[in-house]
Structure 1
Amino acid sequence: MANRSRRVVPAGLALVLALVTAGCNANSQSTSQSTEPAKSKNAAPLESVPKGGTLHYLSRRATESFETANAQMVPTSRLRWVHRGLTSWRTLPDKDTVLVPDLATDTGKTDDGGKTWTFTLKEGLKFSDGSPITAKDVKYGIERSFAPMFQGGLGYHKTLLVGGTDYDGPYDGKELDSIEVAGDHEIVFRLKRPFGNWPWIVSMPAFAPVPAAADTKPETYGEHPVASGPYQVTSFRKGAQAVLDRNPNWTADSDQVRFAGPD
């Protein structure tokens, strides 16, 4: 079989599972999320996942792309073939859904009851173009979701982040000060109020890293995004087909969510 994973893009996988939707019902009454990684009993051995072949994925929507800034999909959707977040959801048959680290080393730390959250990125992460994934890329990816052109996506973070309701994105040169970056690997979020479910919020598609230098045409960036996940978009025909191939810079040992079986 050809060494590529194909999907036809009249497109949108509306994964609305009662199990995973529970993670979207975040509220400030929850206790702080544990920073411990998922227990090994929830892990499926990678060697048991079949490798190779081509996956064909069909959808009914004609307006689908791999844009994360206005995505309304949960973190188990097809967007996670191409994009990674700070955290993600491990979903396996007959097991509970578990929040696990993704680009981050853990599921977040807070020392003030959930009003300030800190995440540290793993070492050695790279985009599909070979450039390093940094905290600055994560910050920029989030900031894009505030731009008026991307209205309509999952917006929990827009009302929780300090200054979020008055921010219109990075395209006028402004940054959102409540997202702070310390070096290449640390990112800090300052919220309006304590919010114990913030580690679930940062698993949403809007928290995927985007290198600012690649975002020269924001309206069509989602058709050819720079990938952080196991696959990259190598061909895109709007309303017809997208072709995904392996991202040569994705490593399975840094990712406990995506098994990436098809070639």
Structure 2
Amino acid sequence: MKTHSTGRRKQALAATAAIAALLSVAACGGGDSDDGNGSSGGGGAKAAGFDAANNKVANASTKKGGTLKFASVQDADSWDTTRGYYGMAWNFMRYYSRQLVTNAAEPGAKGAEVVPDLAKDKAEISSDGKTYTYHLREGVTWEDGKPITSQDVKYGIERQWAQDVLSGGPVYIKNVLDPDGKYKGPYKDTSKEGLKAIQTPDDQTIVFKLPKRNSDFEEMLAMTSSSPVRKDKDTKSKYGLHPFSSGPYKFESYKPAKSLTLVR
């Protein structure tokens, strides 16, 4: 397993305080996994050196299993996919969140390319450039095994409108889909219809209706702020303490400013 380059994403904002954090990901191996004590996973690798992973993979390995540890001098601004704005947090969120499309898991320039993730393919775009349609892959699930639906994707994006509760994250899609600010967000919406600019005709289909064409829209959907969030697991302002995973790893424990452990 390796971290991924996301060249188009903004650099992290400066931390307000220096803290010590140890971020660890415990991976379950396949047929050639280690003995469960984390002793394998790149033993004998040379020190990578400064900027060693810039535009390339440092200490590449095909070894499966083991424990991957990250040492950081600061915690994320938020582990909530809607609220996080640090570049390092966006990269790390790829372990526990997915989006309709995402940046390719490749170093260098290829990492800036948008590729399908939850969606079967990139958008079907109307001739006027205002309608984007996606069809979800079969068999993608939440950490508890329940299917990820188009309604989950819509709800996760709608959380960007709850700025009084979930401030701090990017709001590009909010500004594009609702430039006049008419929608009040999922916590205040009484219509139960949600944002009209996002339609979910069935569990596998999601349609975005843009007021004006925007060639950057699919890039915005590749950001972690467009991750699905399941409504029954949304703890609002506390969600960053234990996000519900749509990705390959899930939260096992989190002690703010101290440690975070994810498991396969």
TM-score (norm 2): 0.71
Deviates more, 1:75-84 or 1:115-124: 75-84
The yes-or-no answer on 1:126 pairing with 2:141 is yes
- Match for 2:214: what amino acid? F
Give the alignment partner of residue 226 of structure 1, picking from 230, 241, 244.
244
**Change in 2 beyond 3 A, CA 1:205/1:220:** same
CA distance in 1, matches of 2:198, 2:214: 15
The yes-or-no answer on 1:241 pairing with 2:256 is no
CA distance in 1, matches of 2:244, 2:106: 28
Give the alignment partner of residue 228 of structure 2, picking from 209, 221, 238.
209
Q: How many residues align?
A: 209
CA distance in 1, matches of 2:5, 2:171: 17
Contact 1:87–1:203 under 8 Å retained in 2: yes
Contact 1:141–1:209 under 8 Å retained in 2: yes
**Change in 2 beyond 3 A, CA 1:111/1:203:** same
**1:88 maps to which residue?**
102
Contact 2:101–2:218 under 8 Å retained in 1: yes
Going by fraction, where is helix more abundant, 1 or 2? 1
The yes-or-no answer on 1:60 pairing with 2:48 is no
1:179-190 equivalences under 5 Å are 179-190=198-209
Query: Helix, strand or coil for the counterpart of 1:50?
Result: coil
**1:173 maps to which residue?**
189
Q: Which consecutive residues of structure 1, in runs of 5 or more, have no partner in the other structure?
A: 6-12, 23-43, 247-263
Contact 2:96–2:249 under 8 Å retained in 1: yes
Query: Helix, strand or coil for the counterpart of 1:201?
Result: helix
- Match for 1:70: what amino acid? R
Structure 1 residue 164 displacement after superposition: 6.3
CA distance in 2, matches of 1:226, 1:219: 14
CA distance in 1, matches of 2:67, 2:147: 28
Deviations 1:181-218 (A, max 9, x none): 11101011111201122111111112111110111x21
The yes-or-no answer on 1:71 pairing with 2:84 is yes
Give the alignment partner of residue 197 of structure 1, picking from 201, 216, 226.
216
Deviations 1:206-253 (A, max 9, x none): 2111110111x211112212111110001111221111000xxxxxxx
**Root-mean-square deviation (Å):** 2.8
CA distance in 2, matches of 1:69, 1:125: 21
**1:109 maps to which residue?**
124
CA distance in 1, matches of 2:261, 2:139: 27
Contact 1:232–1:244 under 8 Å retained in 2: yes
The yes-or-no answer on 1:20 pairing with 2:8 is yes
TM-score (norm 1): 0.72
**Change in 2 beyond 3 A, CA 1:117/1:90:** same
CA distance in 1, matches of 2:86, 2:211: 25
Q: Which consecutive residues of structure 2, in runs of 5 or more, have no partner in the other structure?
A: 11-56
Higher relative contact order (CA 8 A, sep 6+): 1
Query: Helix, strand or coil for the counterpart of 1:81?
Result: coil
Deviates more, 1:127-136 or 1:144-153: 144-153
**1:31 maps to which residue?**
none
